[in-house]
Amino acid sequence: MKTKIIVVAGPTAVGKTALGIKLAQAVGGEIISGDSQQVYRQLDIGTAKASPVEQAAARHHLIDVREVTDTYSAYDFVREAKLAIEEIRAAGKVPIIVGGTGLYLQSLLEGYHLGGQVDQDQVLAYRQDLEGLSDQALFDKVAEQELVIDQVNRRRAIRALELARFGQEMVNQEPPYHPLVLGLTDDRDRLYQRINERVDQMMATGLLAEAKWLYDNYPQVQASRGIGYKELFPYFAGQQSLEEAVAKLKQNTRRFAKRQLTWFRNRMAVDFYDISDPEMESKIRQVVAEFLAEN
Protein backbone atom coordinates (compact mmCIF):
# COMPACT_ATOMS: atom_id res chain seq x y z
CA MET A 1 0.00 0.00 0.00
CA LYS A 2 1.29 3.42 -0.91
CA THR A 3 2.17 5.91 1.80
CA LYS A 4 -0.26 8.79 2.07
CA ILE A 5 1.36 12.21 2.11
CA ILE A 6 -0.12 15.68 2.15
CA VAL A 7 1.50 18.44 0.09
CA VAL A 8 0.83 22.14 0.63
CA ALA A 9 2.05 24.05 -2.43
CA GLY A 10 1.67 27.52 -3.86
CA PRO A 11 3.42 30.82 -4.49
CA THR A 12 5.55 32.64 -1.98
CA ALA A 13 3.75 34.67 0.73
CA VAL A 14 0.43 32.88 0.22
CA GLY A 15 0.33 31.29 3.68
CA LYS A 16 1.69 27.77 3.16
CA THR A 17 3.63 27.65 6.42
CA ALA A 18 0.67 28.63 8.59
CA LEU A 19 -1.65 26.13 6.92
CA GLY A 20 0.94 23.35 7.13
CA ILE A 21 1.31 23.86 10.87
CA LYS A 22 -2.44 23.87 11.43
CA LEU A 23 -2.82 20.65 9.47
CA ALA A 24 0.07 19.02 11.33
CA GLN A 25 -1.56 19.86 14.64
CA ALA A 26 -4.96 18.66 13.45
CA VAL A 27 -3.91 15.27 12.03
CA GLY A 28 -0.79 14.44 14.00
CA GLY A 29 1.66 15.32 11.28
CA GLU A 30 5.22 16.49 10.83
CA ILE A 31 6.37 18.94 8.17
CA ILE A 32 8.99 18.47 5.48
CA SER A 33 10.15 21.71 3.91
CA GLY A 34 9.89 21.66 0.12
CA ASP A 35 11.87 24.86 -0.31
CA SER A 36 15.27 25.00 -1.99
CA GLN A 37 16.57 27.86 0.18
CA GLN A 38 15.36 26.94 3.65
CA VAL A 39 17.94 24.16 3.85
CA TYR A 40 20.66 26.74 4.56
CA ARG A 41 21.72 27.60 8.09
CA GLN A 42 21.98 31.29 9.00
CA LEU A 43 19.67 32.35 6.18
CA ASP A 44 16.42 32.75 8.06
CA ILE A 45 14.75 36.02 7.09
CA GLY A 46 15.27 36.10 3.33
CA THR A 47 14.12 32.49 2.97
CA ALA A 48 10.94 33.09 5.02
CA LYS A 49 11.95 30.15 7.17
CA ALA A 50 9.51 28.95 9.80
CA SER A 51 10.33 30.76 13.04
CA PRO A 52 11.49 28.91 16.19
CA VAL A 53 7.96 29.34 17.58
CA GLU A 54 6.45 27.86 14.41
CA GLN A 55 8.93 25.01 14.39
CA ALA A 56 8.04 24.28 18.01
CA ALA A 57 4.36 24.11 17.08
CA ALA A 58 5.05 21.27 14.62
CA ARG A 59 8.24 19.37 13.98
CA HIS A 60 9.97 20.42 10.76
CA HIS A 61 12.40 18.45 8.57
CA LEU A 62 14.90 19.64 5.90
CA ILE A 63 15.37 23.06 7.48
CA ASP A 64 18.93 24.09 8.43
CA VAL A 65 20.50 20.96 6.96
CA ARG A 66 23.20 22.66 4.86
CA GLU A 67 25.91 25.27 5.35
CA VAL A 68 25.69 28.29 3.07
CA THR A 69 28.82 27.07 1.29
CA ASP A 70 27.10 23.82 0.26
CA THR A 71 25.13 23.15 -2.89
CA TYR A 72 21.67 21.59 -2.90
CA SER A 73 19.86 19.91 -5.76
CA ALA A 74 16.54 18.30 -6.61
CA TYR A 75 18.29 14.95 -6.25
CA ASP A 76 19.36 15.85 -2.70
CA PHE A 77 15.81 16.84 -1.87
CA VAL A 78 14.25 13.66 -3.25
CA ARG A 79 16.72 11.47 -1.37
CA GLU A 80 16.38 13.30 1.93
CA ALA A 81 12.62 13.80 1.71
CA LYS A 82 12.19 10.04 1.24
CA LEU A 83 14.19 9.41 4.41
CA ALA A 84 12.14 12.01 6.30
CA ILE A 85 8.88 10.45 5.11
CA GLU A 86 10.03 7.04 6.32
CA GLU A 87 11.01 8.50 9.70
CA ILE A 88 7.69 10.31 10.11
CA ARG A 89 5.67 7.23 9.17
CA ALA A 90 7.72 5.05 11.52
CA ALA A 91 6.71 7.42 14.32
CA GLY A 92 3.04 6.98 13.39
CA LYS A 93 2.74 10.53 12.06
CA VAL A 94 1.46 11.99 8.80
CA PRO A 95 4.09 13.45 6.41
CA ILE A 96 3.15 16.97 5.26
CA ILE A 97 5.37 18.56 2.63
CA VAL A 98 5.16 22.35 2.58
CA GLY A 99 6.92 24.38 -0.06
CA GLY A 100 6.99 26.19 -3.36
CA THR A 101 9.91 24.66 -5.27
CA GLY A 102 7.97 22.98 -8.05
CA LEU A 103 10.82 20.92 -9.52
CA TYR A 104 11.55 19.38 -6.13
CA LEU A 105 7.95 18.47 -5.40
CA GLN A 106 7.31 17.11 -8.88
CA SER A 107 10.49 15.02 -8.83
CA LEU A 108 9.49 13.41 -5.55
CA LEU A 109 5.85 12.78 -6.44
CA GLU A 110 6.62 11.36 -9.88
CA GLY A 111 9.13 8.89 -8.53
CA TYR A 112 11.96 10.44 -10.47
CA HIS A 113 14.93 8.11 -10.25
CA LEU A 114 17.89 7.09 -12.32
CA GLY A 115 19.40 3.64 -12.50
CA GLY A 116 22.82 2.42 -13.50
CA GLN A 117 25.80 4.75 -13.46
CA VAL A 118 24.05 7.88 -14.75
CA ASP A 119 24.91 11.05 -12.82
CA GLN A 120 21.59 11.99 -11.27
CA ASP A 121 22.42 15.64 -10.70
CA GLN A 122 23.33 16.05 -14.38
CA VAL A 123 20.04 14.60 -15.51
CA LEU A 124 18.00 16.70 -13.09
CA ALA A 125 19.87 19.79 -14.26
CA TYR A 126 19.11 18.86 -17.88
CA ARG A 127 15.49 18.28 -16.96
CA GLN A 128 15.31 21.73 -15.38
CA ASP A 129 16.70 23.25 -18.58
CA LEU A 130 14.07 21.42 -20.64
CA GLU A 131 11.31 22.58 -18.30
CA GLY A 132 12.32 26.14 -19.09
CA LEU A 133 11.60 25.73 -22.81
CA SER A 134 8.34 26.72 -24.42
CA ASP A 135 6.11 23.94 -25.75
CA GLN A 136 7.11 24.71 -29.31
CA ALA A 137 10.84 24.80 -28.56
CA LEU A 138 10.53 21.51 -26.67
CA PHE A 139 8.63 19.77 -29.48
CA ASP A 140 11.05 21.18 -32.07
CA LYS A 141 13.90 19.64 -30.09
CA VAL A 142 12.15 16.26 -30.20
CA ALA A 143 11.64 16.58 -33.95
CA GLU A 144 15.27 17.60 -34.56
CA GLN A 145 16.45 14.41 -32.85
CA GLU A 146 13.83 12.35 -34.74
CA LEU A 147 12.47 10.91 -31.53
CA VAL A 148 9.20 9.00 -31.57
CA ILE A 149 6.75 9.50 -28.72
CA ASP A 150 3.29 7.96 -28.36
CA GLN A 151 1.60 11.21 -27.42
CA VAL A 152 2.90 14.73 -27.96
CA ASN A 153 2.89 16.44 -24.59
CA ARG A 154 5.49 18.10 -22.40
CA ARG A 155 6.06 15.22 -20.02
CA ARG A 156 6.60 12.61 -22.74
CA ALA A 157 8.77 14.99 -24.75
CA ILE A 158 11.03 15.71 -21.78
CA ARG A 159 11.28 12.02 -20.96
CA ALA A 160 12.21 11.13 -24.55
CA LEU A 161 14.92 13.80 -24.63
CA GLU A 162 16.36 12.60 -21.32
CA LEU A 163 16.51 9.02 -22.55
CA ALA A 164 18.10 10.11 -25.81
CA ARG A 165 20.81 12.04 -24.01
CA PHE A 166 21.60 9.79 -21.07
CA GLY A 167 20.66 6.32 -22.26
CA GLN A 168 18.31 3.54 -21.36
CA GLU A 169 19.70 3.08 -17.85
CA MET A 170 17.33 5.78 -16.69
CA VAL A 171 14.13 4.62 -15.09
CA ASN A 172 11.18 6.24 -13.41
CA GLN A 173 10.21 4.14 -10.44
CA GLU A 174 6.57 3.89 -9.54
CA PRO A 175 6.35 6.40 -6.67
CA PRO A 176 5.50 4.76 -3.35
CA TYR A 177 3.27 7.68 -2.37
CA HIS A 178 -0.41 8.47 -2.56
CA PRO A 179 -0.37 12.29 -2.40
CA LEU A 180 -3.03 14.86 -1.68
CA VAL A 181 -1.71 18.07 -3.23
CA LEU A 182 -3.33 21.22 -1.86
CA GLY A 183 -2.55 24.44 -3.71
CA LEU A 184 -3.05 27.86 -2.17
CA THR A 185 -3.72 30.87 -4.33
CA ASP A 186 -5.21 34.36 -4.18
CA ASP A 187 -6.30 37.21 -6.39
CA ARG A 188 -3.19 38.52 -8.14
CA ASP A 189 -3.40 42.05 -6.72
CA ARG A 190 -3.90 40.77 -3.18
CA LEU A 191 -1.05 38.31 -3.55
CA TYR A 192 1.28 41.01 -4.86
CA GLN A 193 0.30 43.24 -1.95
CA ARG A 194 1.12 40.42 0.46
CA ILE A 195 4.51 40.01 -1.21
CA ASN A 196 5.29 43.71 -0.95
CA GLU A 197 4.27 43.74 2.70
CA ARG A 198 6.36 40.65 3.41
CA VAL A 199 9.46 42.28 1.92
CA ASP A 200 8.86 45.36 4.04
CA GLN A 201 8.54 43.15 7.11
CA MET A 202 11.73 41.28 6.21
CA MET A 203 13.59 44.58 5.92
CA ALA A 204 12.23 45.69 9.28
CA THR A 205 13.37 42.49 10.98
CA GLY A 206 16.95 42.33 9.71
CA LEU A 207 17.09 41.16 6.11
CA LEU A 208 19.64 43.84 5.20
CA ALA A 209 22.11 42.62 7.82
CA GLU A 210 21.57 38.99 6.81
CA ALA A 211 22.17 39.79 3.15
CA LYS A 212 25.24 41.91 4.01
CA TRP A 213 26.78 39.02 5.92
CA LEU A 214 26.27 36.78 2.88
CA TYR A 215 27.67 39.44 0.53
CA ASP A 216 30.76 40.02 2.68
CA ASN A 217 31.57 36.37 3.27
CA TYR A 218 30.07 34.16 0.57
CA PRO A 219 29.00 36.22 -2.47
CA GLN A 220 29.58 33.43 -5.01
CA VAL A 221 27.87 30.46 -3.37
CA GLN A 222 24.63 28.89 -4.63
CA ALA A 223 22.68 30.25 -1.66
CA SER A 224 23.59 33.84 -2.55
CA ARG A 225 21.74 33.54 -5.85
CA GLY A 226 18.39 33.14 -4.15
CA ILE A 227 15.71 35.82 -4.37
CA GLY A 228 15.94 37.92 -1.25
CA TYR A 229 19.71 38.28 -1.30
CA LYS A 230 21.05 38.87 -4.79
CA GLU A 231 18.77 41.89 -5.27
CA LEU A 232 20.48 43.67 -2.37
CA PHE A 233 24.04 43.01 -3.57
CA PRO A 234 24.07 46.01 -6.00
CA TYR A 235 23.25 48.25 -3.02
CA PHE A 236 26.23 46.90 -1.07
CA ALA A 237 28.42 47.41 -4.15
CA GLY A 238 27.34 51.06 -4.39
CA GLN A 239 25.58 50.50 -7.72
CA GLN A 240 22.01 51.18 -6.55
CA SER A 241 20.22 53.03 -3.81
CA LEU A 242 18.58 50.97 -1.09
CA GLU A 243 15.18 52.08 -2.36
CA GLU A 244 16.00 50.79 -5.87
CA ALA A 245 17.30 47.49 -4.54
CA VAL A 246 14.21 46.88 -2.40
CA ALA A 247 11.94 47.75 -5.32
CA LYS A 248 13.82 45.21 -7.44
CA LEU A 249 13.45 42.61 -4.69
CA LYS A 250 9.70 43.12 -4.61
CA GLN A 251 9.48 42.93 -8.41
CA ASN A 252 11.53 39.73 -8.62
CA THR A 253 9.51 38.12 -5.84
CA ARG A 254 6.25 38.94 -7.63
CA ARG A 255 7.61 37.47 -10.86
CA PHE A 256 8.76 34.38 -8.98
CA ALA A 257 5.27 33.92 -7.52
CA LYS A 258 3.83 34.08 -11.03
CA ARG A 259 6.27 31.40 -12.23
CA GLN A 260 5.40 29.21 -9.25
CA LEU A 261 1.70 29.39 -10.01
CA THR A 262 2.34 28.59 -13.68
CA TRP A 263 4.38 25.54 -12.71
CA PHE A 264 1.80 24.13 -10.30
CA ARG A 265 -1.11 24.76 -12.67
CA ASN A 266 0.52 23.34 -15.78
CA ARG A 267 2.82 20.59 -14.57
CA MET A 268 1.31 19.08 -11.45
CA ALA A 269 -2.09 17.75 -10.41
CA VAL A 270 -3.02 20.35 -7.80
CA ASP A 271 -6.38 21.18 -6.23
CA PHE A 272 -6.33 24.94 -5.62
CA TYR A 273 -7.99 26.80 -2.76
CA ASP A 274 -8.41 30.57 -2.58
CA ILE A 275 -7.05 31.92 0.70
CA SER A 276 -9.56 34.78 0.57
CA ASP A 277 -12.41 32.28 0.86
CA PRO A 278 -13.56 32.39 4.51
CA GLU A 279 -14.43 28.69 4.26
CA MET A 280 -11.03 27.68 2.89
CA GLU A 281 -9.65 26.10 6.04
CA SER A 282 -12.80 24.16 6.81
CA LYS A 283 -12.95 22.89 3.22
CA ILE A 284 -9.33 21.76 3.35
CA ARG A 285 -9.79 20.08 6.73
CA GLN A 286 -12.72 18.12 5.33
CA VAL A 287 -10.78 17.06 2.23
CA VAL A 288 -7.82 16.01 4.37
CA ALA A 289 -10.02 14.03 6.77
CA GLU A 290 -11.65 12.17 3.87
CA PHE A 291 -8.26 11.52 2.25
CA LEU A 292 -6.77 10.04 5.42
CA ALA A 293 -9.87 7.92 6.03
CA GLU A 294 -9.69 6.29 2.59
CA ASN A 295 -8.60 2.67 2.41
pLDDT digits 0-9 by tens, 20-76: 999 999 999 999 999 999 999 999 999 999 999 999 999 999 999 999 999 888 878
Q: What is the pLDDT of residues 178-204, one digit of tens each?
A: 999 999 999 999 999 999 999 999 999
pLDDT band at 176 (very low <50, low <70, confident <90, very high): confident
Same domain, 243 and 164: no
Position 116 pLDDT exceeds 70: no
Is 16 annotated as contributing to ligand binding?
Answer: yes
pLDDT at 112 > cutoff 90 = no
The mean of the pLDDT values for the chain is 90
Residues 85 and 129 in one domain: no
The range of the structural domain enclosing residue 30 comes to 3-107+175-293
213 within 8 A of 42, measured Cβ to Cβ = yes
- Say whether 15 counts as a known binding-site residue: yes
Is 13 assigned to a binding site? yes
Q: Are residues 10 and 74 in the same domain?
A: yes
Q: How far apart are CA 232 and CA 46, in angstroms?
A: 11
Are 98 and 15 a contacting pair, CB within 8 Å?
no
Does residue 47 have a known ligand-binding role? no
| Greater model confidence, 239 or 151 | 239
- Using CA atoms, how far residue 79 sits from 9, 91, 107, 181, in Å, is 19, 19, 10, 20
Query: Is 204 found in the same domain as 63?
Result: yes
Same domain, 23 and 160: no
Verify that 287 and 183 share a domain, yes or no. Answer: yes
CATH number of the domain encompassing residue 250 = 3.40.50.300
Shared domain check, 190 and 157: no
Number of domains present in the structure of the chain: 2
Residues 15, 61 within the same domain:
yes
Domain end position, chosen among 172, 199, 219: 172
Pair 39, 62: CB distance under 8 Å: yes
What's the pTM? Answer: 0.83
pLDDT of residue 73: 81
pLDDT in tens, 258-278: 999 998 998 888 999 999 999
Residues 196, 261 share a domain: yes
My answer on whether 145 and 19 are in the same domain is no
Mean pLDDT of 221-243: 96
Is the per-residue pLDDT at 253 higher than 90? yes
12 is in an annotated binding site: yes
Last residue of a domain, one of 124, 155, 172: 172
Pair (100, 179) in one structural domain: yes
CA angle 175, 176, 178 (to 5 degrees): 95
**279 in the same domain as 202:** yes
Output the pLDDT for position 97: 98
